[in-house]
Structure 1
Amino acid sequence: MANSVSDSSPVPIRVAVAGASGRMGRMLIEAIRDSDDCVLAGALDVSVSPGIGSDATAFLGYASGVPITADLDLGLATADVLIDFTRPEGTLAHLKACARHGVQAVVGTTGFSDAQKAEIAGHAERIAIVMAPNMSVGVNVTLKLLDMAARALSTGYDIEVIEAHHRHKVDAPSGTALKMGEVLANALGRDLKGCAVYAREGVTGERDPSSIGFATIRGGDIVGDHTVLFAGTGERIEITHKSASRTTYAQGSLRAVRFLRGRTAGMFDMFDVLGLR
Protein backbone atom coordinates (compact mmCIF):
# COMPACT_ATOMS: atom_id res chain seq x y z
CA MET A 1 0.00 0.00 0.00
CA ALA A 2 1.43 3.35 -1.05
CA ASN A 3 2.25 5.89 1.60
CA SER A 4 -0.02 8.93 1.58
CA VAL A 5 1.70 12.31 1.47
CA SER A 6 -0.10 15.27 2.96
CA ASP A 7 -0.08 18.58 1.13
CA SER A 8 1.93 20.94 3.33
CA SER A 9 1.46 23.95 1.03
CA PRO A 10 0.27 27.03 2.92
CA VAL A 11 -3.36 28.02 2.51
CA PRO A 12 -3.61 30.73 -0.17
CA ILE A 13 -4.32 34.25 1.02
CA ARG A 14 -7.82 35.25 -0.07
CA VAL A 15 -7.64 38.74 -1.55
CA ALA A 16 -10.42 41.16 -2.49
CA VAL A 17 -9.76 44.07 -4.85
CA ALA A 18 -11.51 47.45 -4.75
CA GLY A 19 -11.97 49.34 -8.01
CA ALA A 20 -11.89 46.01 -9.82
CA SER A 21 -13.00 47.47 -13.18
CA GLY A 22 -10.27 50.12 -13.31
CA ARG A 23 -6.75 49.98 -14.70
CA MET A 24 -5.10 49.43 -11.33
CA GLY A 25 -7.80 47.00 -10.22
CA ARG A 26 -7.25 44.85 -13.28
CA MET A 27 -3.50 44.94 -12.81
CA LEU A 28 -3.97 43.70 -9.24
CA ILE A 29 -6.34 40.94 -10.33
CA GLU A 30 -3.85 39.75 -12.94
CA ALA A 31 -1.02 39.79 -10.38
CA ILE A 32 -3.12 37.74 -7.97
CA ARG A 33 -3.88 35.27 -10.77
CA ASP A 34 -0.16 34.89 -11.48
CA SER A 35 0.91 34.52 -7.84
CA ASP A 36 1.58 31.20 -6.11
CA ASP A 37 0.11 32.10 -2.74
CA CYS A 38 -2.87 34.41 -3.34
CA VAL A 39 -6.34 33.83 -4.74
CA LEU A 40 -9.03 36.30 -5.77
CA ALA A 41 -11.87 36.21 -3.24
CA GLY A 42 -13.80 39.39 -3.98
CA ALA A 43 -14.08 42.25 -6.47
CA LEU A 44 -15.61 45.60 -5.55
CA ASP A 45 -16.61 48.60 -7.60
CA VAL A 46 -19.03 51.51 -7.49
CA SER A 47 -22.66 50.76 -8.35
CA VAL A 48 -22.54 52.80 -11.59
CA SER A 49 -19.59 50.85 -12.97
CA PRO A 50 -20.45 49.00 -16.21
CA GLY A 51 -18.51 46.04 -14.83
CA ILE A 52 -20.99 45.35 -12.03
CA GLY A 53 -22.25 41.77 -12.25
CA SER A 54 -19.59 40.57 -14.66
CA ASP A 55 -16.89 38.07 -13.79
CA ALA A 56 -13.83 39.86 -12.37
CA THR A 57 -11.39 37.99 -14.64
CA ALA A 58 -13.42 38.15 -17.85
CA PHE A 59 -10.88 40.63 -19.27
CA LEU A 60 -8.24 37.87 -18.94
CA GLY A 61 -10.34 35.46 -20.98
CA TYR A 62 -11.45 33.07 -18.24
CA ALA A 63 -14.07 32.86 -15.51
CA SER A 64 -13.04 33.03 -11.85
CA GLY A 65 -16.55 32.75 -10.43
CA VAL A 66 -15.97 36.04 -8.58
CA PRO A 67 -18.49 38.68 -9.70
CA ILE A 68 -17.79 42.41 -9.47
CA THR A 69 -20.17 43.83 -6.89
CA ALA A 70 -21.00 47.09 -5.11
CA ASP A 71 -22.17 45.13 -2.05
CA LEU A 72 -19.32 45.47 0.44
CA ASP A 73 -20.54 42.69 2.71
CA LEU A 74 -20.77 40.29 -0.23
CA GLY A 75 -17.42 41.32 -1.73
CA LEU A 76 -15.59 40.91 1.58
CA ALA A 77 -17.43 37.85 2.88
CA THR A 78 -14.62 35.34 2.22
CA ALA A 79 -11.61 37.68 2.01
CA ASP A 80 -8.57 37.80 4.28
CA VAL A 81 -7.23 41.08 2.85
CA LEU A 82 -8.60 43.94 0.75
CA ILE A 83 -6.35 45.88 -1.64
CA ASP A 84 -7.69 49.40 -2.21
CA PHE A 85 -6.42 51.97 -4.74
CA THR A 86 -9.59 54.05 -5.09
CA ARG A 87 -10.63 57.46 -3.71
CA PRO A 88 -10.53 58.65 -0.08
CA GLU A 89 -14.30 58.52 0.50
CA GLY A 90 -14.58 55.06 -1.01
CA THR A 91 -11.58 53.74 0.90
CA LEU A 92 -13.01 54.98 4.21
CA ALA A 93 -16.27 53.15 3.52
CA HIS A 94 -14.33 50.02 2.57
CA LEU A 95 -12.21 50.13 5.73
CA LYS A 96 -15.31 50.49 7.88
CA ALA A 97 -16.66 47.31 6.29
CA CYS A 98 -13.25 45.60 6.67
CA ALA A 99 -13.25 46.39 10.39
CA ARG A 100 -16.73 44.90 10.65
CA HIS A 101 -15.66 41.67 8.91
CA GLY A 102 -12.16 41.37 10.37
CA VAL A 103 -10.55 41.80 6.94
CA GLN A 104 -7.02 43.29 6.83
CA ALA A 105 -6.27 46.01 4.28
CA VAL A 106 -3.58 47.28 1.94
CA VAL A 107 -4.28 50.92 1.06
CA GLY A 108 -2.60 52.72 -1.84
CA THR A 109 -5.21 55.48 -2.08
CA THR A 110 -3.86 59.05 -1.85
CA GLY A 111 -5.35 62.46 -1.08
CA PHE A 112 -6.53 61.85 2.50
CA SER A 113 -7.10 64.80 4.84
CA ASP A 114 -5.64 64.77 8.34
CA ALA A 115 -9.09 63.95 9.73
CA GLN A 116 -9.44 61.02 7.33
CA LYS A 117 -5.98 59.72 8.28
CA ALA A 118 -7.06 59.84 11.92
CA GLU A 119 -10.16 57.81 11.03
CA ILE A 120 -7.97 55.20 9.32
CA ALA A 121 -5.75 55.04 12.39
CA GLY A 122 -8.89 54.29 14.39
CA HIS A 123 -9.69 51.34 12.15
CA ALA A 124 -6.11 50.09 12.63
CA GLU A 125 -6.97 49.43 16.27
CA ARG A 126 -9.26 46.65 15.04
CA ILE A 127 -7.58 45.43 11.85
CA ALA A 128 -4.06 45.42 10.40
CA ILE A 129 -3.50 48.02 7.67
CA VAL A 130 -0.54 48.64 5.37
CA MET A 131 -0.93 52.16 4.02
CA ALA A 132 1.49 53.88 1.66
CA PRO A 133 1.09 56.47 -1.10
CA ASN A 134 3.18 54.26 -3.37
CA MET A 135 3.47 50.48 -3.13
CA SER A 136 6.42 50.22 -5.52
CA VAL A 137 9.43 48.53 -3.94
CA GLY A 138 11.73 50.83 -5.93
CA VAL A 139 9.94 53.98 -4.75
CA ASN A 140 10.23 52.94 -1.13
CA VAL A 141 13.94 52.21 -1.50
CA THR A 142 14.18 55.69 -3.08
CA LEU A 143 12.51 57.16 0.02
CA LYS A 144 15.19 55.53 2.16
CA LEU A 145 17.89 57.03 -0.08
CA LEU A 146 16.26 60.47 0.22
CA ASP A 147 16.35 60.25 4.00
CA MET A 148 20.07 59.48 3.88
CA ALA A 149 20.78 62.22 1.32
CA ALA A 150 18.82 64.90 3.19
CA ARG A 151 20.72 64.23 6.40
CA ALA A 152 24.07 64.48 4.60
CA LEU A 153 23.06 67.55 2.54
CA SER A 154 21.26 69.42 5.32
CA THR A 155 23.01 72.74 4.68
CA GLY A 156 24.00 74.49 1.47
CA TYR A 157 21.56 72.61 -0.77
CA ASP A 158 18.15 73.70 -2.04
CA ILE A 159 15.63 70.88 -2.36
CA GLU A 160 13.00 70.60 -5.09
CA VAL A 161 10.58 67.72 -5.77
CA ILE A 162 9.46 67.34 -9.40
CA GLU A 163 6.76 64.84 -10.33
CA ALA A 164 4.98 63.89 -13.56
CA HIS A 165 1.85 61.77 -14.09
CA HIS A 166 -0.75 60.98 -16.73
CA ARG A 167 -3.49 63.41 -17.68
CA HIS A 168 -6.16 61.49 -15.75
CA LYS A 169 -4.61 61.91 -12.29
CA VAL A 170 -6.91 64.02 -10.13
CA ASP A 171 -4.69 65.07 -7.19
CA ALA A 172 -1.55 67.20 -7.15
CA PRO A 173 1.14 66.99 -5.99
CA SER A 174 1.04 63.22 -6.09
CA GLY A 175 0.85 61.27 -2.87
CA THR A 176 4.32 59.93 -3.59
CA ALA A 177 5.74 63.44 -4.02
CA LEU A 178 4.17 64.50 -0.73
CA LYS A 179 5.59 61.42 0.97
CA MET A 180 9.00 62.33 -0.40
CA GLY A 181 8.53 65.82 1.04
CA GLU A 182 7.60 64.38 4.43
CA VAL A 183 10.68 62.13 4.45
CA LEU A 184 12.92 65.07 3.50
CA ALA A 185 11.38 67.41 6.08
CA ASN A 186 11.61 64.82 8.86
CA ALA A 187 15.25 64.14 8.05
CA LEU A 188 15.94 67.88 8.26
CA GLY A 189 13.96 68.40 11.44
CA ARG A 190 11.34 70.54 9.70
CA ASP A 191 7.55 70.50 9.43
CA LEU A 192 6.53 70.05 5.78
CA LYS A 193 3.39 72.15 6.32
CA GLY A 194 5.57 75.08 7.26
CA CYS A 195 8.28 74.77 4.60
CA ALA A 196 6.54 73.39 1.48
CA VAL A 197 6.16 75.69 -1.54
CA TYR A 198 3.64 74.36 -4.06
CA ALA A 199 3.42 77.24 -6.54
CA ARG A 200 5.57 80.10 -7.80
CA GLU A 201 4.35 82.94 -9.98
CA GLY A 202 5.30 86.56 -10.47
CA VAL A 203 7.88 88.32 -8.32
CA THR A 204 8.47 85.74 -5.60
CA GLY A 205 11.67 87.13 -4.13
CA GLU A 206 14.72 85.03 -3.38
CA ARG A 207 14.26 81.40 -2.52
CA ASP A 208 13.92 80.62 1.19
CA PRO A 209 16.77 78.15 1.85
CA SER A 210 14.63 76.27 4.38
CA SER A 211 11.84 75.61 1.88
CA ILE A 212 11.09 72.40 -0.03
CA GLY A 213 9.65 73.17 -3.46
CA PHE A 214 7.22 71.08 -5.50
CA ALA A 215 6.61 71.11 -9.25
CA THR A 216 3.81 69.15 -10.91
CA ILE A 217 3.52 67.97 -14.52
CA ARG A 218 0.42 66.32 -15.99
CA GLY A 219 0.21 64.88 -19.47
CA GLY A 220 -0.18 61.88 -21.74
CA ASP A 221 0.11 58.43 -20.25
CA ILE A 222 3.05 58.99 -17.86
CA VAL A 223 2.71 56.31 -15.20
CA GLY A 224 4.77 58.18 -12.62
CA ASP A 225 8.11 60.00 -12.58
CA HIS A 226 9.61 61.53 -9.44
CA THR A 227 12.88 63.45 -9.08
CA VAL A 228 14.31 65.13 -6.00
CA LEU A 229 16.89 67.77 -6.82
CA PHE A 230 19.51 68.81 -4.27
CA ALA A 231 20.97 71.99 -5.78
CA GLY A 232 24.17 73.20 -4.17
CA THR A 233 26.88 75.64 -5.20
CA GLY A 234 28.93 74.05 -7.95
CA GLU A 235 27.02 70.77 -8.04
CA ARG A 236 23.58 69.21 -8.29
CA ILE A 237 22.46 65.81 -7.07
CA GLU A 238 19.32 64.20 -8.51
CA ILE A 239 17.62 61.11 -7.16
CA THR A 240 15.05 59.84 -9.65
CA HIS A 241 12.53 57.03 -9.85
CA LYS A 242 10.53 56.34 -13.02
CA SER A 243 7.67 53.88 -13.32
CA ALA A 244 7.10 52.31 -16.72
CA SER A 245 4.22 50.09 -15.62
CA ARG A 246 1.70 49.77 -12.79
CA THR A 247 2.98 46.21 -12.38
CA THR A 248 5.44 47.50 -9.78
CA TYR A 249 2.54 48.78 -7.66
CA ALA A 250 0.74 45.45 -7.93
CA GLN A 251 3.78 43.39 -6.96
CA GLY A 252 4.52 45.68 -4.03
CA SER A 253 0.90 45.37 -2.93
CA LEU A 254 1.17 41.58 -2.86
CA ARG A 255 4.31 41.86 -0.72
CA ALA A 256 2.22 43.96 1.67
CA VAL A 257 -0.54 41.32 1.59
CA ARG A 258 1.97 38.64 2.59
CA PHE A 259 3.34 40.88 5.35
CA LEU A 260 -0.14 41.05 6.89
CA ARG A 261 -0.51 37.28 7.22
CA GLY A 262 -0.90 36.51 10.92
CA ARG A 263 -1.30 40.15 11.93
CA THR A 264 -4.61 41.22 13.44
CA ALA A 265 -4.23 44.95 14.14
CA GLY A 266 -1.89 47.89 13.71
CA MET A 267 -0.86 50.56 11.20
CA PHE A 268 2.10 49.74 8.95
CA ASP A 269 3.75 51.13 5.82
CA MET A 270 6.06 49.82 3.11
CA PHE A 271 9.14 50.50 5.24
CA ASP A 272 7.76 47.89 7.63
CA VAL A 273 7.00 45.52 4.77
CA LEU A 274 10.50 45.86 3.27
CA GLY A 275 12.42 45.98 6.55
CA LEU A 276 13.74 49.50 5.89
CA ARG A 277 13.29 50.85 9.43
Structure 2
Amino acid sequence: MDETNHSAPPSWFSTPLFRVLLSQIIGFTIAFAGALSAAAITGETIHPLITLLVQGVVAALIGHRMGLARWWLPVQIILPPATLIATAWQLPPWIFLLVFIALLLVYWNTARNRVPLYLTNRTTWTALSELLPEEKGGQFIDIGCGIGGALLYLARQRPDMTFTGIESAPLPFALAWLRRLLTSTRNLKLVYGDFWKEDLSSFDVAYAFLSPEPMPKLFEKIKAEMKPETMFVSNSFVVPEHPADEIIEVDDARETRLHLWRRASSNHEAAD
Protein backbone atom coordinates (compact mmCIF):
# COMPACT_ATOMS: atom_id res chain seq x y z
CA MET A 1 0.00 0.00 0.00
CA ASP A 2 1.31 3.43 -0.94
CA GLU A 3 2.40 5.55 2.01
CA THR A 4 0.31 8.45 0.71
CA ASN A 5 -2.79 6.49 1.62
CA HIS A 6 -1.98 6.46 5.33
CA SER A 7 -3.17 9.29 7.50
CA ALA A 8 -0.61 10.46 10.00
CA PRO A 9 -2.46 11.44 13.17
CA PRO A 10 -2.41 15.19 13.79
CA SER A 11 -0.30 16.51 16.61
CA TRP A 12 -2.01 17.07 19.95
CA PHE A 13 -1.65 20.82 19.43
CA SER A 14 -4.13 20.67 16.56
CA THR A 15 -6.66 18.31 18.16
CA PRO A 16 -10.06 19.42 19.50
CA LEU A 17 -9.15 18.45 23.09
CA PHE A 18 -6.14 20.77 23.05
CA ARG A 19 -8.27 23.62 21.69
CA VAL A 20 -10.89 22.98 24.37
CA LEU A 21 -8.22 23.13 27.08
CA LEU A 22 -6.63 26.27 25.63
CA SER A 23 -9.96 28.06 25.22
CA GLN A 24 -10.96 27.17 28.80
CA ILE A 25 -7.66 28.56 30.13
CA ILE A 26 -8.22 31.79 28.21
CA GLY A 27 -11.85 31.90 29.35
CA PHE A 28 -10.78 31.35 32.97
CA THR A 29 -8.25 34.19 32.75
CA ILE A 30 -10.73 36.64 31.22
CA ALA A 31 -13.64 35.68 33.51
CA PHE A 32 -11.70 35.86 36.77
CA ALA A 33 -9.89 39.05 35.75
CA GLY A 34 -13.30 40.56 35.04
CA ALA A 35 -14.69 39.30 38.36
CA LEU A 36 -11.79 40.81 40.29
CA SER A 37 -12.14 44.12 38.45
CA ALA A 38 -15.89 44.22 39.09
CA ALA A 39 -15.34 43.45 42.78
CA ALA A 40 -12.77 46.24 43.04
CA ILE A 41 -15.13 48.75 41.43
CA THR A 42 -18.38 47.78 43.14
CA GLY A 43 -17.03 46.44 46.41
CA GLU A 44 -19.16 43.33 46.01
CA THR A 45 -17.94 39.81 45.29
CA ILE A 46 -19.23 38.19 42.12
CA HIS A 47 -20.82 34.80 42.74
CA PRO A 48 -18.45 32.01 41.59
CA LEU A 49 -21.22 30.35 39.56
CA ILE A 50 -21.65 33.52 37.48
CA THR A 51 -17.90 33.79 36.97
CA LEU A 52 -17.68 30.19 35.82
CA LEU A 53 -20.64 30.64 33.50
CA VAL A 54 -18.87 33.63 31.93
CA GLN A 55 -15.76 31.46 31.62
CA GLY A 56 -17.77 28.84 29.76
CA VAL A 57 -19.33 31.36 27.37
CA VAL A 58 -15.96 32.98 26.61
CA ALA A 59 -14.33 29.57 26.13
CA ALA A 60 -17.15 28.48 23.81
CA LEU A 61 -16.78 31.57 21.62
CA ILE A 62 -12.99 31.28 21.49
CA GLY A 63 -13.17 27.56 20.78
CA HIS A 64 -15.61 28.19 17.94
CA ARG A 65 -13.20 30.74 16.47
CA MET A 66 -10.46 28.11 16.75
CA GLY A 67 -12.47 25.82 14.51
CA LEU A 68 -14.23 23.57 17.01
CA ALA A 69 -17.47 22.01 15.80
CA ARG A 70 -20.75 23.63 16.87
CA TRP A 71 -21.62 20.77 19.24
CA TRP A 72 -18.71 21.87 21.43
CA LEU A 73 -20.50 25.18 22.20
CA PRO A 74 -22.90 23.84 24.88
CA VAL A 75 -20.21 21.50 26.23
CA GLN A 76 -17.81 24.39 26.71
CA ILE A 77 -20.47 26.57 28.37
CA ILE A 78 -21.67 23.88 30.78
CA LEU A 79 -18.28 22.47 31.77
CA PRO A 80 -17.04 25.13 34.27
CA PRO A 81 -20.31 25.63 36.25
CA ALA A 82 -20.94 21.86 36.21
CA THR A 83 -17.56 21.35 37.87
CA LEU A 84 -18.50 23.76 40.66
CA ILE A 85 -21.91 22.15 41.17
CA ALA A 86 -20.38 18.67 41.30
CA THR A 87 -17.84 19.86 43.86
CA ALA A 88 -20.58 21.44 45.98
CA TRP A 89 -22.50 18.18 45.96
CA GLN A 90 -19.32 16.39 47.07
CA LEU A 91 -19.55 13.73 44.40
CA PRO A 92 -16.91 11.00 44.80
CA PRO A 93 -13.85 11.36 42.53
CA TRP A 94 -14.42 8.01 40.83
CA ILE A 95 -17.56 9.39 39.16
CA PHE A 96 -15.47 11.97 37.29
CA LEU A 97 -13.01 9.26 36.30
CA LEU A 98 -15.83 7.01 35.10
CA VAL A 99 -17.40 9.78 33.01
CA PHE A 100 -14.03 10.70 31.54
CA ILE A 101 -13.25 7.09 30.61
CA ALA A 102 -16.69 6.62 29.04
CA LEU A 103 -16.33 9.78 26.95
CA LEU A 104 -12.82 8.78 25.93
CA LEU A 105 -13.98 5.33 24.80
CA VAL A 106 -16.83 6.81 22.76
CA TYR A 107 -15.02 9.81 21.26
CA TRP A 108 -11.63 8.15 20.82
CA ASN A 109 -11.50 9.15 17.14
CA THR A 110 -12.50 12.74 17.84
CA ALA A 111 -9.49 13.32 20.06
CA ARG A 112 -6.89 12.03 17.62
CA ASN A 113 -8.34 11.93 14.11
CA ARG A 114 -11.07 14.59 14.23
CA VAL A 115 -13.69 12.01 13.37
CA PRO A 116 -16.64 12.25 15.77
CA LEU A 117 -19.20 9.51 16.27
CA TYR A 118 -21.91 9.95 13.64
CA LEU A 119 -24.68 7.34 13.49
CA THR A 120 -26.48 6.57 10.23
CA ASN A 121 -30.24 6.89 10.69
CA ARG A 122 -32.82 4.29 9.70
CA THR A 123 -34.08 6.17 6.65
CA THR A 124 -30.54 6.24 5.29
CA TRP A 125 -30.22 2.50 5.95
CA THR A 126 -33.02 1.98 3.43
CA ALA A 127 -31.39 4.32 0.92
CA LEU A 128 -28.12 2.41 1.24
CA SER A 129 -29.84 -0.93 0.70
CA GLU A 130 -31.13 0.35 -2.64
CA LEU A 131 -27.55 1.10 -3.74
CA LEU A 132 -26.26 -2.42 -3.18
CA PRO A 133 -25.25 -4.31 -6.33
CA GLU A 134 -27.87 -6.61 -7.81
CA GLU A 135 -25.34 -9.39 -8.38
CA LYS A 136 -25.10 -11.94 -5.58
CA GLY A 137 -22.00 -12.37 -3.47
CA GLY A 138 -20.82 -8.76 -3.29
CA GLN A 139 -18.80 -7.26 -0.44
CA PHE A 140 -19.61 -4.05 1.46
CA ILE A 141 -17.47 -2.19 3.99
CA ASP A 142 -18.58 0.48 6.46
CA ILE A 143 -15.53 2.63 7.22
CA GLY A 144 -16.08 3.75 10.80
CA CYS A 145 -19.13 1.61 11.52
CA GLY A 146 -19.94 2.98 14.99
CA ILE A 147 -22.34 0.69 16.84
CA GLY A 148 -23.15 -1.28 13.69
CA GLY A 149 -26.80 -0.39 13.14
CA ALA A 150 -26.53 0.16 9.38
CA LEU A 151 -24.51 -3.03 8.89
CA LEU A 152 -26.94 -5.20 10.83
CA TYR A 153 -29.84 -3.89 8.76
CA LEU A 154 -28.05 -4.33 5.43
CA ALA A 155 -26.83 -7.81 6.37
CA ARG A 156 -30.44 -8.86 7.05
CA GLN A 157 -31.62 -7.37 3.76
CA ARG A 158 -28.91 -9.06 1.70
CA PRO A 159 -27.92 -12.43 3.17
CA ASP A 160 -26.12 -13.23 -0.10
CA MET A 161 -23.56 -10.45 0.49
CA THR A 162 -20.70 -10.15 2.97
CA PHE A 163 -20.57 -7.03 5.14
CA THR A 164 -17.55 -5.71 7.00
CA GLY A 165 -17.39 -2.92 9.54
CA ILE A 166 -14.20 -1.35 10.87
CA GLU A 167 -14.14 0.83 13.99
CA SER A 168 -11.32 2.16 16.18
CA ALA A 169 -13.34 3.69 19.04
CA PRO A 170 -13.42 0.98 21.76
CA LEU A 171 -16.92 1.41 23.19
CA PRO A 172 -18.84 1.71 19.89
CA PHE A 173 -16.94 -1.31 18.56
CA ALA A 174 -17.80 -3.32 21.68
CA LEU A 175 -21.49 -2.45 21.28
CA ALA A 176 -21.42 -3.39 17.59
CA TRP A 177 -19.71 -6.69 18.40
CA LEU A 178 -22.28 -7.46 21.10
CA ARG A 179 -25.18 -6.67 18.76
CA ARG A 180 -23.74 -8.94 16.10
CA LEU A 181 -23.31 -11.71 18.69
CA LEU A 182 -26.89 -11.38 19.95
CA THR A 183 -28.38 -11.41 16.43
CA SER A 184 -26.13 -14.22 15.11
CA THR A 185 -25.53 -12.32 11.87
CA ARG A 186 -23.23 -14.68 9.98
CA ASN A 187 -22.57 -12.51 6.93
CA LEU A 188 -21.23 -9.63 9.04
CA LYS A 189 -17.59 -9.26 10.06
CA LEU A 190 -16.40 -6.60 12.52
CA VAL A 191 -12.81 -5.39 12.66
CA TYR A 192 -11.32 -3.33 15.48
CA GLY A 193 -8.56 -1.13 14.15
CA ASP A 194 -7.36 1.67 11.92
CA PHE A 195 -9.22 1.91 8.61
CA TRP A 196 -6.15 3.45 6.97
CA LYS A 197 -4.49 0.04 7.30
CA GLU A 198 -7.43 -1.88 5.84
CA ASP A 199 -7.04 -3.16 2.27
CA LEU A 200 -10.11 -2.10 0.27
CA SER A 201 -9.33 -4.01 -2.91
CA SER A 202 -11.86 -6.81 -2.26
CA PHE A 203 -14.90 -4.59 -1.66
CA ASP A 204 -17.61 -3.68 -4.16
CA VAL A 205 -19.08 -0.86 -2.08
CA ALA A 206 -17.34 1.31 0.51
CA TYR A 207 -19.43 3.54 2.78
CA ALA A 208 -18.22 6.25 5.15
CA PHE A 209 -19.88 8.74 7.50
CA LEU A 210 -16.82 10.44 8.97
CA SER A 211 -16.04 14.18 8.84
CA PRO A 212 -14.54 16.65 6.33
CA GLU A 213 -11.03 16.14 7.76
CA PRO A 214 -10.11 12.68 6.35
CA MET A 215 -12.08 12.86 3.09
CA PRO A 216 -9.28 13.92 0.67
CA LYS A 217 -6.88 11.18 1.84
CA LEU A 218 -9.66 8.61 2.06
CA PHE A 219 -10.65 9.37 -1.53
CA GLU A 220 -7.05 8.83 -2.66
CA LYS A 221 -7.04 5.51 -0.80
CA ILE A 222 -10.29 4.53 -2.51
CA LYS A 223 -8.87 5.35 -5.95
CA ALA A 224 -5.63 3.49 -5.27
CA GLU A 225 -7.17 0.30 -3.88
CA MET A 226 -10.72 -0.25 -5.10
CA LYS A 227 -11.21 -1.90 -8.48
CA PRO A 228 -13.26 -0.67 -11.47
CA GLU A 229 -17.01 -1.29 -11.30
CA THR A 230 -17.02 -0.48 -7.58
CA MET A 231 -18.61 2.39 -5.67
CA PHE A 232 -17.75 4.74 -2.82
CA VAL A 233 -20.57 6.35 -0.83
CA SER A 234 -20.01 9.26 1.55
CA ASN A 235 -22.76 10.31 3.92
CA SER A 236 -22.97 14.14 3.93
CA PHE A 237 -19.30 14.94 3.37
CA VAL A 238 -17.87 15.89 -0.02
CA VAL A 239 -14.39 15.45 -1.45
CA PRO A 240 -12.85 18.82 -2.38
CA GLU A 241 -12.14 19.15 -6.13
CA HIS A 242 -13.76 15.78 -6.84
CA PRO A 243 -17.50 16.25 -7.43
CA ALA A 244 -19.63 13.18 -6.89
CA ASP A 245 -20.95 11.24 -9.88
CA GLU A 246 -24.37 11.25 -8.24
CA ILE A 247 -26.00 12.76 -5.16
CA ILE A 248 -28.97 11.06 -3.54
CA GLU A 249 -31.15 13.18 -1.28
CA VAL A 250 -32.58 11.12 1.56
CA ASP A 251 -36.05 12.02 2.78
CA ASP A 252 -35.18 12.35 6.47
CA ALA A 253 -35.24 15.11 9.09
CA ARG A 254 -31.59 16.09 8.67
CA GLU A 255 -31.85 16.18 4.84
CA THR A 256 -29.06 13.66 4.41
CA ARG A 257 -27.18 13.58 1.14
CA LEU A 258 -25.36 10.50 -0.08
CA HIS A 259 -22.46 11.36 -2.39
CA LEU A 260 -21.64 8.56 -4.84
CA TRP A 261 -18.46 7.97 -6.80
CA ARG A 262 -18.58 5.07 -9.26
CA ARG A 263 -15.38 3.55 -10.59
CA ALA A 264 -16.84 2.51 -13.91
CA SER A 265 -13.71 2.50 -16.08
CA SER A 266 -10.10 3.55 -16.33
CA ASN A 267 -11.27 6.60 -18.28
CA HIS A 268 -13.34 7.68 -15.30
CA GLU A 269 -10.31 7.37 -13.02
CA ALA A 270 -8.22 9.44 -15.40
CA ALA A 271 -10.87 12.14 -15.32
CA ASP A 272 -10.44 12.41 -11.56
**What's the TM-score once normalised by structure 1's chain length?**
0.36
Q: Using CA pairs under 8 Å that are at least 6 residues apart, name the structure with larger relative contact order, 1 or 2.
A: 1
Structure (1 or 2) with the larger CA radius of gyration: 2
Which structure's residues are more often helix, by fraction?
Answer: 2
Which structure's residues are more often strand, by fraction?
Answer: 1
**What's the TM-score once normalised by structure 2's chain length?**
0.36
